[in-house]
Amino acid sequence: MLNPPVDEKLASEHVIDLIERIGMKLLMGPYAKYVHMVGNRGLTVAAIIETSHIVMHTWDECDPAIVQLDVYTCGPFDPNIVFAWLEQYLPTNISHKYIDREDGIKEIPVTQSHSYTAKEIVKAMDDILSI
């Protein structure tokens, strides 16, 4: 990420925006804290939603920075909204893992071993959601 979040208040507002965009209900938080420890410097934001949680971790010491976003829910949402939301941080590449926990936890296999562009991820998620 070329523009990782570093401000606790602003990042919390961003997570609230994501929750609203994907049609979820915020129950608690978000809670945000920037960690200054060398080797682990970055921001963590966590929010409890009605159907589980959303957590964002950033590591801004590396270049480009790393942002890990967990959208963990048993509720339906459009993943395209999440990928569009991530664009505010100027991603250089996006890797994702989609885990279906509806009928037991199973990972939807990734058929290629490379980082995906946002367009590739949107197409893959569209394919998964149309099954």
At 43-79, the pLDDT tens digits run 999 999 999 999 999 999 888 899 999 998 888 888 8
* pLDDT at 109 exceeding the cut of 80: no
In the chain, the number of structural domains is 1
97 inside domain: yes
2 inside domain: no
Find all residues with CB under 8 Å of 41, minimum gap 6, and list them.
35, 59, 60, 61
pTM value? Answer: 0.75
The rounded distance, in Å, linking the Cα atoms of 77 and 44 is: 23
Which residue's structure tokens are 């963990």? 72
The residue range of the domain holding 82 is: 8-129
The rounded distance, in Å, linking the Cα atoms of 85 and 79 is: 10
19 inside domain: yes
